[in-house]
Amino acid sequence: LDCNGKSLDLSRPQVMGVLNITPDSFSDGGDFFTPEAAVERALQMEADGAAIIDIGGESTRPGADPVSVEEELGRVVPVIESLATRLGVPISIDTRKPAVMRAAVEAGAGLINDVNALREEAALEVAAACSVPVCLMHMQGEPRNMQAAPQYDDVVDEVREFLHERVQACLAAGIAREKLLLDPGFGFGKSVEHNLQLLAHLDAFSSMGIPILVGLSRKSMIGKLLGLEVGERLPASIALAVLAVERGAVLVRTHDVAATWQALQMNVALRAVH
Ligand code: PT1
Distance 56 CA to ligand 1 centre (A): 11
**Minimum CA distance residue for ligand 1 atom 2:** 215
The neighbour count for residue 120, using CB atoms within 10 Å, is 17
Active-site residues: which are they? Answer: 219, 253
Range list of H helices, 118-219: 123-130, 155-173, 192-200, 203-206
Ligand 1, atom 1: nearest CA belongs to which residue? Answer: 215
pTM across the whole model? 0.95
252-268 exposure pattern, b = at least 16 Cβ within 10 A, e = fewer: bbbbbbbbbbebbeeee
Distance from residue 274's CA to the centre of ligand 1 (Å) = 35
Residue to mutate, 76, 97, 113, ligand 1, most ligand atoms under 8 Å from C-beta: 113
Of all protein residues, whose CA lies closest to atom 20 belonging to ligand 1? 187
26 CA distance to ligand 1 centroid (A)? 9
Q: Is there an atom of ligand 1 within 6 Å of 187 CB?
A: yes
CA 139 to ligand 1 centroid distance, Å: 10
CA distance 273 to 192: 34
Residue pLDDT tens, the chain, 274 long: 999 999 999 999 999 999 999 875 455 544 557 888 899 999 999 999 999 999 999 999 998 889 999 999 999 999 999 999 999 999 999 999 999 999 999 999 999 999 999 999 999 999 999 999 999 999 999 999 999 899 999 999 999 999 999 999 999 999 999 999 999 999 999 999 999 999 999 999 988 999 999 999 999 999 999 999 999 999 999 999 999 999 999 999 999 999 999 999 999 999 989 7
